[in-house]
Amino acid sequence: MRFITSYGVAFVLILLIGGWLLSGTIIQGGKGPDEGEKSIIEMFSGDKKSSDGEENPANVDADKEVAAEEKLQEETNKEPSLQSVRTKLFIAQNMPIEIELRGRTKANATITISAETSGRVEEVHVLKGQKVNAGDLICTLDSGVRETQLIQAEASLAQAKASLAQREADFATNKALREKGLSAANTKRSFEVQLEAAKSSLAAAQAALDSAKLELARTKIHTKVNGIVQDPLANVGDMMGNGTACATLVQLDPMLFIGKIAESKVSFIKEGMSAKITTIGAQQLDGSVSYISPSADEETRSFNVEIEMKNPNGLIRSGLSASAIIIAGEINAQLIPQSSLTLDSDGVIGVKLVDEDDKVHFVKVTIIKDDNNGVFVLGLPDKAGIIIFGQEYVVDGQIVAPTMVRGEQQS
């Protein structure tokens, strides 16, 4: 009987559970319908909608992941955006070509006044820094025996003159006797030889006298040029030899400016072009190009240039630092900001332009002048759209997205 009762209870429970399952709902959290009540079928079927019509959170997250993957794939397949750059239109303008050089002043010449004979310095007639003119006396040497030699030469000359006069008289007498037949004809030759010898003796005596005078005159050392005296300068008592310096003169008029010009600019200048020179002391002079070196310096690849200028009062000294501006004519050029300059792969300086098709082009330029507003360059077309920002991030031939700076054209 107990066995039957147990099976009966179990059967009843099975019937109750089956009925509950057939009802199709389950209460989660004990909240009742619309507050946690969920269909049992929905728990096992995985439908997107819940019993109240809302989307299943698990399915929403899956949809978001799919959408994100699709967006990423779309962005990956899309073409990359163009590089943005800023450009500016520059128009060529007529400007004077003023080529600036840096260098120094240099005396036109440094001349050594040397002795042409030997002797001891008896007197020095100039001081260092003194300005002298051609013909001025610089030094006097001891004459020594030169005056005695001059006297002897004068006496020899007088004797030669007397001897010549006697021979001329003898020849004339012989000629008269021969014409009267009182002297043999063959005596003529003897008197002619004696006469020629007397003439030679006179010429030698005259030359000896001239030499003696010249030797004595050489004890007086004069300058043949204008200049300013500087060291080395002889002192009284110094022993001078032939060629020893008595004094050194510096010629400051005309004065020279010595500078160097880059190989990129040397073709713009020519001899005779006018120039303005300014020294370190703000002294200004006008000059003209007098020399351009035919060959460049091996190390700097620059050319030596000389400018000659008048310095009548000697106010400009030799060796001063100075600058010169050579007026080399006029040319069309663009004034561009220095920041727009760039280098290509070979180290050539230039700028990057953008054409009508938004393509980048590198153009080599030559800088001819710079100032506070930028640099003047050659090598560009009359109108050039130059990249002024972003040029370092683009390459030749690249397509870019340019933005033109408005209202800032150069004219």
pLDDT tens digits for the chain (411 residues)? 555 666 666 777 777 776 666 665 555 444 455 555 555 445 544 444 444 445 555 555 556 665 666 665 555 454 568 889 999 999 888 888 788 899 999 998 889 999 999 999 999 999 998 989 999 999 999 988 888 888 999 999 999 999 889 988 888 888 888 888 887 888 888 888 888 998 999 999 999 999 999 999 999 999 998 888 988 889 998 998 888 899 999 988 889 999 999 888 888 899 999 999 999 877 888 999 999 999 998 888 899 999 999 988 778 888 899 999 998 888 888 889 999 999 988 889 999 999 989 999 999 998 877 888 888 888 899 889 999 998 889 998 999 999 888 754 443
Q: What residues does each domain of the chain span?
A: 2-75, 85-95+332-404, 99-105+249-330, 146-217
Domains 85-95+332-404 and 99-105+249-330 share a fold: no
CATH architecture of 85-95+332-404: Beta Barrel (2.40)
Distances (CA, A) of 40 to 16, 21, 51, 282, 361: 16, 8, 10, 105, 73
Phi, psi of 184 (to 5 degrees): -65, 150
d(CA 345, CA 365) in angstroms, rounded, equals 15
Vertex 320: Cα angle to 318 and 326 (nearest 5): 100
**Under DSSP, is residue 106 helix (H, G, I), strand (E, B) or coil?**
strand
d(CA 191, CA 251) in angstroms, rounded, equals 60
pTM given for the model: 0.52
CATH no. of 99-105+249-330: 2.40.30.170
E strand or H helix that includes residue 387? strand 383-389
